[in-house]
A = this chain, B = another copy of it.
Amino acid sequence: MVGGGEGAFIGAIHRAAAALDGEWQLVAGAFSSDPERNRRSGAALGIEPARVYNSLDALLVAEAALPADQRIDAVSIVTPNHLHAPMAIAALDAGFHVFCEKPMALSSAEARLIAQAAERSGRQFGLAFTYSGYPLVEEARARVARGDLGKIRLVQVEYSQGWLSQPIDRDGNKQAEWRTDPARAGLGGCLGDIGTHAFHLAEHVSGLGVRELCADLTIHVEGRRLDDDVAVLLRLDGGARGTLKASQIAAGDENGLKLRIHGEKGGLEWSQMEPNTLTLRWLDRPAELVRAGGPGLAPSTLPRLRTPAGHPEGYIEAFANLYRSFAARIRTGNSDAADGFPSIEAGLRTMAFVETVIANAASDQKWSAVTHS
């Protein structure tokens, strides 16, 4: 693991998620660029001191020198955004699989360099689009794919948080600080941090690509340097229409990621904060509540479940599903998209999305095409 030392948030989630199914063991790390903090973090995690490295480079060199049955299999990158690309490329080139936090990189150009590194190394590269790990997100995807809703007409996604409503980025909140710093977060603020999740979820579940978009980016908190609020009109494949709304100044909102998709015959709704219910509504019959662990689930949903119906699973379990898929990809060498695991292609799409939104919002152009090559 790179990053995720004392005071970090997402590193601890990665560790819990990886531990949950017993498929991964944390044996080495470079948890902080501050040596003393790094040492303390490693000790707190029970890592053998010799494998607590002061930099990713040191880690890669030392681990690569270990016998194959002792060295790490993969590197988990949980640093601020600006380090994702250089670190991922270094780790791939050193022969390790990489599981990386989103967004993939600071730019499409950087993201493509990662793609090339993965290609030449033959290693797996996975991205933490956590929400695709939820069982009922897979259920939604499977049902859309098999045509339950008919031809898709509407895709509405929103991701609503309120934690940046005040200028806490100037008051010493480390999480807020780097996320609003263009040098470390990239060109998008809210856009990169959670807009990318929303975009990925929309394309992943609908199975449709966003062709054109029209965006409004706003900075509501005075003095902030990156957007804290995003609104986008979407035009998707096949004439479908959509909206994407992401905000980090929706005061009082927690982590409100919600997806609605409507087709000719019915609609579905999924909300991350109550993740174990997928609501299906129909033109011609009563709405249905499809439940995690309940009857009627798609075959691809079942392996994502650990508990019987009514025993709620949550965010860490969703994350753990990604780690499990990642392990399976490494074991089997298989990296086609059938397992729903978010990998390079998804990363490139989200980078194209971020760049298109930023360009569109800064221009008088109404509609901008979203492309990546």
Contacts and interface: CB of A to CB of B under 8 A. Distances in A.
Contact of A289 (B239, B266, B287, B366): B287
Nearest to A249: B153
Interface stretch (A58-66, A80-88, A302-310, A346-354): A302-310
A330 to B, nearest CB: 16
A273 interface: yes
Given A22-B46, A241-B231, A296 B307 contact: no
A364 interface: yes
Nearest to A26: B22
4 tightest A-B CB contacts, nearest first: A252-B281, A254-B310, A255-B310, A312-B314
B12 A287 contact: no
A314 to B, nearest CB: 4
17 contacts: A9-B308, A13-B306, A150-B251, A162-B267, A165-B264, A249-B262, A250-B260, A252-B262, A252-B281, A254-B310, A274-B312, A282-B295, A286-B291, A286-B296, A312-B315, A313-B314, A313-B316
B251 A264 contact: yes
A253 B218 CA distance: 31
B162 A281 contact: yes
A216 B229 contact: no
Interface-centre pick from A252, A254, A273 (highest chain B CB count, 10 A): A252
Given A19-B22, A214-B366, 9 more contacts: A12-B306, A22-B45, A250-B260, A252-B281, A254-B291, A255-B310, A289-B289, A306-B316, A313-B316
A245 B313 CA distance: 25
A21 interface: yes
A40 interface: no
Interface of A: 9, 12-13, 15-16, 19-22, 26, 45-46, 149-150, 153-154, 156, 161-163, 165-166, 214, 216, 218, 220, 229, 231, 233, 235, 239, 241-243, 245, 247, 249-256, 260, 262-267, 272-276, 280-291, 293-296, 306-317, 364-366
A309 B264 contact: no
Contacts of A45: 22
Contacts of A289: 286-289
Contacts of A150: 251
A275 B312 contact: yes
Contact of A220 (B16, B239, B316): B239
B251 A162 contact: no
A356 to B, nearest CB: 14
A233 B235 contact: no
A251 B233 contact: no
Q: Which secondary structure dominates chain A's binding surface?
A: loop
Contact of A19 (B19, B283, B313, B315): B19
A210 to B, nearest CB: 13
A311 to B, nearest CB: 4
A13 B251 contact: no
B12 A16 contact: no
Contact of A316 (B9, B165, B317): B317
B251 A231 contact: no
B309 A255 contact: yes
A263 B233 CA distance: 23
Contacts of A254: 291, 293-294, 308-310
A180 to B, nearest CB: 16
Contact of A312 (B163, B273, B293, B294): B273
